[in-house]
Amino acid sequence: MVGYILERVYKLSSPELFQKYIFSRSCEQNTFSELKNDRSLNISIGKNSLEEPMPILNGYYNYAGGLKSTTRSMLDYIKIYLERNDKVTKQAMDRLAGDARYGRVYAWNTYNYDKENKMLYHNGGTFGHSSWIAQYPNQKIGIFIVTNIVTADSQSKLNKLSNSIIDSIISGSS
């Protein structure tokens, strides 16, 4: 619904909005709402919990998991939050709701927001893919994990893997 409202208010399509307000900041080169035949040769095919291939849908769900991206583009996206002094992304990390442990900032969930090891994260799954993106602003670390299968516990497993990675990094640097 938010995406639909933004398109109406700004009188721009979702790809135009993404380019103007996100990709121009992140410098992402390989994030798309629609894949052309020449780009689909190396795309991962998602599977459901029965390991059945899921369709690749173009142009749908752009605001709710419909974008397709490379790992490199996702790292560029993480960098705008952790490395660039962009006032919009800095504001997007200010807590809007919740308590010190669990909360929300614009499009991110938060964990331990008022602690040294605060984490901002988002997860999702669309048509056979599960993903997890987390940033640890105080450590200047970002993690992006994606898998091409959706199961009842794939999100919790990605969360545990992300926690394991950050714990290893932090304990290794102590």
Tens digit of each residue's pLDDT (9 = 90 or more) over 88-123: 888 888 888 988 899 998 889 999 999 998 999 999
Tokens 């919790």 correspond to what residue?
156
Tokens of 81: 């939050």
d(CA 157, CA 2): 29
What is the tens place of the pLDDT at every residue in 147-160?
999 999 999 999 99
Amino acid at 24: S
pTM of the predicted protein model: 0.83
Check: CB of residue 113 under 8 Å from CB of residue 103. yes
Domain ranges of the chain: 1-32+57-84, 92-174
Amino acid at 162: S
d(CA 33, CA 64): 11
Give residue 59's pLDDT band: very low, low, confident or very high (50, 70, 90).
low
**CA 41-54-48 angle, 5° bins:** 125
